[in-house]
A and B are shown apart, each in its own frame.
Chain A
């Protein structure tokens, strides 16, 4: 693009450097023709659904009575944001809790795993391959795996817990109802499944980053008297800062939009205990058939995610500059 920002103007400068530029199909027309299919695909796949969703949020479309659809202005926004019945804020809070907790713990485990895998180990490739296994298993399979493991009647987790016997003391004499009760255990179970599924992503990315940390810097720090913690804190982490920023941003956003694990394990229950925003939107739109309400929630959620991403990246960029 810098070629285009010359005093003579974009295409004129290109013509100077490349005499045949601009002649026939080698000029701007070619650029637009080549871009056209991609732009149209973008229009069809991204912009049209987003615009249609926003338009739907100003209507009252309920699939049980589609003929009664009409424009309602900002009514849906007012209801969703202020009326408890719509369950918007509890879903937002659970989304944040789920995303922050699962990302933070997955990051810590993933980083630790990356540090271990970065050492010279026998069968290094095998260990690295095994460490990635949870990440390559499809989300739905992971969800059903944990659904059965946590099942109160025949799950292996309860078998292990009820089998614990420390000199006659049995901390779990009876099986736990993981997907019942007040929902706290279900929250734990879904976050646990998400962590198991996500930590290899951090391992993979941070392991790649660790291999770019200059050895001479680490050696110099060692000579200067820095210990393991000092080298990690003052050399390894700053070097990986950009990777950490990108991976955590991506994972937070992916986790905020988690669907498969929660839907397959709990349907958002018990009650609304594990109802995150995406499950709530899906349930509202497709189970309850209130499409416009779901579109309103989607639009607000989109804006919230955009705002979060903007500020998060600004904050991380600021730290990076410091």
Chain B
């Protein structure tokens, strides 16, 4: 700009040195540059949305386009090669029957909570979400999930496995319904029991029997085979496998009163006993020192691990891992399932309530349509036969597993043990919005204790860490 306030171009134009065409051309260039700048500045702006504003965004994303409604469904089934095609086939049927377009969002299992949280806070959550473990509590507690209490019929509640609705309920509000029920049962290898001179028809029923069996196995099995597999990875899922042992030894380090108030004592006697037992397992080479659950499944499939807590889907994993275990009959001939051995802390066997469930976003515009998708996913023949049964978990309605058209795949001894013995022993851990944060500290302590850290000292420190998480 010149001192008199006129731009060089304008001045030149007024003095007749610049043609009108040239002036307009320059103005056009400037306009394009300015609008580009505005767009980029907008992109730099804050995208934090209030729940109400987010709802509006969600409306556009999951509303109707050209007369066809659309729904966003986030799940890990679509992100896994083994299940991707099956869930897609089933969803295609729903799309056709309901004139709905499903936007299928596949998220790897270990990123689901992080992605759902980010999408929700970004104002663009999926309408329906596949959930697991603590996620209904984390998302429900943060206000991201809708209350499904009024949508669930009494028939379903009466026809459900023990605690399968409870693990989707936080502070009395139902945020998630069961999709597939997959708690850990006590798997045992009949071959390795026989090899150790033990009766393959009589798996250990108590911790004392388990310890005796493991000692016998250690002396008779080769060095690369282990009596038991404990997941010692730095993942929240490792806790699903260790909670039953903590409870069995009488520990109750985190207890929720149902109103969101959590009592914390990681240094109680039972918890100390459980972690001391774990340390002894590693020290005495009764369990691999550093393996995660996936590696231990492979080891068990190949005759290198005798006992392990794991879900009913292990039959399918064995079939994919070992060519000699291709059929359900083959798996049943080599392995059996029982309940977690009992210890001094419990009168009955116990396992963590680990189920996969379904929730609806609090920001979903068409909750009726979202609920229709959930009903489809939990009751339709397409989903049950092409996805749920091949996946290996128990069906969300108890009767489906025991009578009628779908019951046959669940008639083998292993599935029957899950239905009759393991699932009734399910107990929810102290899930809540801060559980995942606490779990991060707990699995660190679990690894350090397995590696030889002083049990009492480390658990006392863990107690401080977890209290900081909950109390600030």
Contacts and interface: CB of A to CB of B under 8 A. Distances in A.
B18 interface: yes
A290 to B, nearest CB: 7
A40 B142 contact: no
Interface residues of B, number: 56
Interface stretch (A58-66, A190-198, A237-245): A58-66
Interface stretch (A103-111, A173-181, A247-255, A297-305): A173-181
Contact of A23 (B8, B285, B436): B8
B275 to A, nearest CB: 13
Contacts of A65: 141-142, 433
Contacts of B8: 22-24, 27, 29
B44 A64 contact: no
B47 to A, nearest CB: 10
A153 B117 contact: no
A93 B73 CA distance: 43
B386 interface: no
B17 to A, nearest CB: 9
Interface in A135-190: 151-153, 174-175, 177-183
A43 B288 contact: no
B18 A286 contact: no
B33 interface: yes
A174 B289 CA distance: 12
Contact of B143 (A24, A27, A67): A67
A177 B40 contact: no
Interface stretch (B79-87, B149-157, B193-201, B231-239): B231-239
A153 B288 contact: yes
Which secondary structure dominates where chain B touches chain A? Answer: helix
Nearest to A286: B114
A162 to B, nearest CB: 9
A288 B437 contact: yes
Contact of A180 (B138, B282, B464): B282
Contacts of B304: 153
B40 A41 contact: yes
A287 interface: yes
B254 to A, nearest CB: 15
A266 interface: yes
A268 B142 contact: no
Closest 6 CB pairs of A and B: A180-B290, A177-B289, A180-B289, A271-B448, A40-B40, A269-B234
Interface of B: 8-9, 12, 18, 22, 26, 29-30, 33, 36-37, 40-41, 43-44, 46, 114, 117-118, 121, 138, 141-143, 223-224, 232-236, 282, 285, 288-291, 295, 299, 304, 433-434, 436-437, 440, 444-445, 447-448, 450-453, 464-465, 468
